[in-house]
């Protein structure tokens, strides 16, 4: 029986407990999950792609079925190159759905070989986003309940604390 691999793409700038919630739940469904850090020049990132990849690799070190990679170009091309058939997308609220639905439909129009699986974020993380974490951290607010300690330390370093 072939391995069932899923790809969980995102900017992960930075990785939050909400992201980890989706990863952990996806690992219960799939034989492996590739956490794919997008190289997106359109976004104004706090962390570089190598920094995000390193943080994710460290945070996921105790999850052997999870791997961390980077990609650019069309997501569906990357997914097919990696031998996966499923894209994992997390939804926090109904407001996320419209945009995610459009992306899923576009990906489906490009290739029928790849499915998108929407996973609802667990209730404690339904308000959480990397943008909120960066904003709170930039104002020296508490982020301990939002990100792993390693990520908090990296945020503190970015904001010179």
Taking the domains of the chain in order of start, what are their residue ranges? 5-126
Catalytic residue among 89, 130, 134, 137: 130
Q: Which candidate in 63, 65, 92, 158 is catalytic?
A: 92
Catalytic residue, candidates 19, 52, 89, 134: 19
- Would you state the CATH architecture of domain 5-126? 3-Layer(aba) Sandwich (3.40)
Catalytic-residue membership of 43: yes
Q: Model-level pTM?
A: 0.94
Whether 130 is catalytic: yes
Task: Identify whether 92 is a catalytic site residue.
Answer: yes
The per-residue pLDDT string of the chain (161 residues; one tens digit each, 9 = 90 and over) reads: 667 999 999 999 999 999 999 999 999 999 999 999 998 766 789 999 999 999 999 999 999 999 999 999 999 999 999 999 999 999 987 778 888 899 999 999 999 999 999 999 999 998 899 999 999 999 999 999 999 999 999 999 999 87
Question: Per the residue annotation, which of 4, 43, 131, 138 is the catalytic one?
Answer: 43
Say how far apart CA 62 and CA 55 lie, in whole Å.
Answer: 13
Longest dimension (CA), the chain: 51
């Amino acid at each position: 029986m072939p391995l069932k691999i899923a790809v969980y793409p995102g900017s992960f700038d930075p990785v939050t407990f909400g992201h980890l919630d989706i990863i952990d739940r996806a690992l219960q469904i799939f034989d492996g999950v590739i956490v794919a850090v997008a190289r997106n020049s359109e976004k104004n990132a706090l962390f570089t792609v190598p920094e995000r990849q390193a943080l994710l690799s460290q945070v996921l070190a105790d999850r052997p079925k999870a791997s961390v990679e980077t990609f650019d170009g069309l997501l569906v091309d990357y997914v097919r190159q990696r031998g996966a058939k499923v894209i994992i997308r997390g939804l926090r609220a109904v407001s996320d759905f419209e945009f995610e639905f459009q992306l899923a439909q576009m990906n489906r129009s490009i290739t029928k070989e790849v499915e998108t699986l929407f996973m609802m974020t667990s209730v404690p993380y339904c308000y959480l986003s990397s943008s909120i974490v960066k904003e709170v951290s930039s104002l020296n607010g508490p982020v301990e309940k939002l990100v792993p300690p390693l990520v908090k330390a990296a945020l503190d370093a970015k904001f010179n604390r």
